[in-house]
Homo-oligomer: A and B are copies of this chain.
C-alpha cells in the first residue's frame, strides 16, 4: 500500500491536452434548472448536474469582476441542519428544507467559502478564508501543471542528458505538505515524471531525482532540480495488460457467477436503498466519495425503523511515506483533503469490479470551471453471497433426533473505488441481516516505487527506506490511515460512549478453586479526552449506547465498534506531517456533533499547518455524555513492500464493524425467512 497522488487522472504528456476526466466533463454539460422529480427528492441527495450548473451561474453572477480567474475547487451539498432533516424525515411530504450548496472557490489568490441557496438563487454567505492551507486541487490545474515540464528547457535537457525521449514522458502532481515554514503564501506542487516507452505501468518507471516545482495559482514553474542521475528501471515484463504477457502463463479457471434468477431483493429509489430490514441513503461527494446517511433498521417486534447511523464517510486518508530523500520526504499525502477521494472515484466495470447481480449508480462532481462532470457507475450495489454461513447449528443431543439448521449469509454491499494515482481504494459499506454494518477497504493498484541504481541487495550500504523489489526498483515504506466519520445515533441523538475493559482479576478469597478470571468493567466517557483511545493488545470493547433506552432486562441499547486494525503512526508528535495528520494519534476519538467538523484533517488540507483538525477541535475537551456524538475511527495499514507487491499489488483488505450490542432483544436472524431459490 502506497499512494501516488500525482492524480493518475491528471498526468499528462506533450502530445495530448485533455485527460479522460476532462473529456467526461465536456460530455456532461446539463441544462440549467432541470426540475427535480419530486418523488425522488431527499434533502441529502447530492447536487444534480442541473444544480451544479445553477451554483456556477449564481457564483459567477455574484463575482463578475473576478470571473477571469474564478476556479471551483469544491462544490457539494450544504446539508440542512440535522434537526431539519429529522423533522423532514418524520413528516414527509410537507415543505422541503432549503436546498443549499457549499462552494470553495479561488479567485484573485484568495480562497472563498461560499454558501449558495438554490431555492432563492442567491448567495447566503461569501467568506474569504485567511487561515493556513488550501482547498482541494482541481484536475484541470494538475493537468496543466503536469504539462509544464514538457516544454521547459532545463527539464528537456535533463531528459535528453539521460538518453530519454521527452515524448515518452508523463508527469504527475505531488502535494508538498508543510515543514515548519512560518508563512506559506503560494499554492505549490511538485511535478515528478515517468518514462512510458511502451508500457502503461508508468509507476514502475520513475525518472528519479528530477523535480519541477509549480506555482498553481500562477501556473508556472518556480523551481527545478536535477539532483542526480538515476537509472530508469527497465521494468521488463511489468506492463499488466494481458496483451503484453509472454508465456509461460498462469492457470486459467473456469467461469463462476453469482446469479439471482428472480432479481435483487433491494430497491433503489433516488438515493434511498432498501434491503431486508435496512434503509439508508447513499450519496456521492467529490471530497468524501460515498456517504451513507440515515441508516436505520426495522425492528419487527417494535414495528418500527430504529436509527443507527446518521452519517458515515471517509473523512480523510493520510498516506505518509518513510523515505527521507529529497524527492520523497514530503510525500505525506491527504487523499481526501488534497485530491478529493470522490473526485478520484472511477467508473466500476460490470462483471469485474462488481458481480453480475450488481446495480450501478452514477456520480456527479464539479469541474474547475463550475460545470458538472459525471462519473458513470461510481457506485455499485449488490447482494453479496460468498457461500458463508450466517448462523448454523447441528443438534445431536436430543435422543432420536438430529436437527440441523443453517442460514446462509447474504449481505448488501455499496461499493466505490477511488483511484488516487497509483493506488486503488475499494470501499465497501456492507449491511447484514443481523444488524451489522461492516466497512471494508481494499487497497490495490500499483506501488509507488523509487528509482535506484542498485540491482542487488548486496550492493546496498546505505539506508534506502524500502525494499529492493526488482533491479533499480525500491518499494518505499509507507502507511495508509483512513479516518471514518461515524455519526451514530442509536435510537436517537443523545448517546454515550462506553469503554468496557476486560480485566484480569485475582481470586483472593476461597470462593473458587480458580486463582483468576476476567470480568468486565465499564466506564462512560464524560468528555472528549476520556474517549481518545490508542488501540492495543489490551482487551476492551467500545460501545455507543443510548443511556435513555434499555432492553426489557435492563441493558442499555447500543452498537459496538469492532476495530479491524490497531495500527497507529510511527512518527513523533511534533513532526510536521504528524501535526497535520494528528487524527492518527488515537485510533478512536469521540466529539460532540458539530456540523462544521467533518474533515479529520481539516477543511483546507493542502499545505495546512494542522491548526484546524480533529486533534485541535477536541482540545476543547467538550462534554460527550448523553449528547449527540460522533465517533471517529482510523483504520491503519503499515506497508513494508514485498516482491509480491510488484509489478501489480493484489488487494489487501481491512475494515471494521458496527455491530448491535443489546440493541435488539434477541438476534433478528431468528425470525428471518429463507430465500426461495429458483434452480
Distance from A431 Cβ to chain B, minimum over Cβ atoms (Å): 12
Which of A44-52, A62-70, A457-465, A600-608 faces chain B? A457-465
Q: What number of copies of this chain does the assembly contain?
A: 2
Given contacts A396-B19, A575-B516, A667-B644, contact A355 B424 (CB under 8 A): no
- A95 at the A/B interface (Cβ < 8 Å)? no
Distance from A360 Cβ to chain B, minimum over Cβ atoms (Å): 13
Distance from A314 Cβ to chain B, minimum over Cβ atoms (Å): 18
Cβ contacts under 8 Å, A391 to chain B: 444, 648-651
Are A424 and B393 neighbours in the complex by a CB distance under 8 Å?
yes
In the complex, what residue of chain B is closest to A423 when comparing beta carbons? B393
Are A324 and B507 neighbours in the complex by a CB distance under 8 Å?
yes
Cβ contacts under 8 Å, A170 to chain B: 397-399
In the complex, what residue of chain B is closest to A408 when comparing beta carbons? B352
Are B260 and A259 neighbours in the complex by a CB distance under 8 Å?
no
In the complex, what residue of chain B is closest to A411 when comparing beta carbons? B386
Which residue of B180, B393, B554, B663 contacts A468 across the interface (Cβ within 8 Å)? Answer: B554
Which of A26-34, A152-160, A529-537 faces chain B? A529-537
Which residue of B434, B435, B446, B642 contacts A662 across the interface (Cβ within 8 Å)? Answer: B642
In the complex, what residue of chain B is closest to A667 when comparing beta carbons? B644
13 A-B contact pairs sorted by A residue (CB < 8 Å): A12-B397, A250-B669, A256-B260, A256-B677, A352-B389, A382-B387, A384-B386, A389-B426, A391-B649, A457-B555, A520-B640, A539-B638, A551-B643
Alpha-carbon distance between A117 and B11 when the two chains are bound, in angstroms: 70
Are B259 and A276 neighbours in the complex by a CB distance under 8 Å?
no
A interface, size bucket: 35 or more
Which residue of B238, B349, B421 contacts A406 across the interface (Cβ within 8 Å)? Answer: B349
Are B382 and A670 neighbours in the complex by a CB distance under 8 Å?
no
In the complex, which of the residues A330, A396, A401 has the most CB atoms of chain B within 10 Å of its own CB atom?
A396
- A3 at the A/B interface (Cβ < 8 Å)? no
Which residue of B11, B515, B666, B679 contacts A397 across the interface (Cβ within 8 Å)? Answer: B11
Are B12 and A399 neighbours in the complex by a CB distance under 8 Å?
yes
- Against B, the Cβ 8 Å flags (1 = close, 0 = not) of A332-360 are 00000000000000110101111101100
Cβ contacts under 8 Å, A660 to chain B: 642, 644
Are A455 and B553 neighbours in the complex by a CB distance under 8 Å?
yes
Which residue of B249, B252, B463, B469 contacts A675 across the interface (Cβ within 8 Å)? Answer: B252
Which residue of B397, B468, B662, B671 contacts A643 across the interface (Cβ within 8 Å)? Answer: B662
Given contacts A19-B396, A424-B394, contact A261 B255 (CB under 8 A): yes
Q: 4 additional contacts, CB 8 Å, given A353-B406, A643-B662, A643-B667?
A: A253-B383, A258-B259, A322-B517, A555-B643
Alpha-carbon distance between A661 and B652 when the two chains are bound, in angstroms: 14
- A414 at the A/B interface (Cβ < 8 Å)? no
- A206 at the A/B interface (Cβ < 8 Å)? no
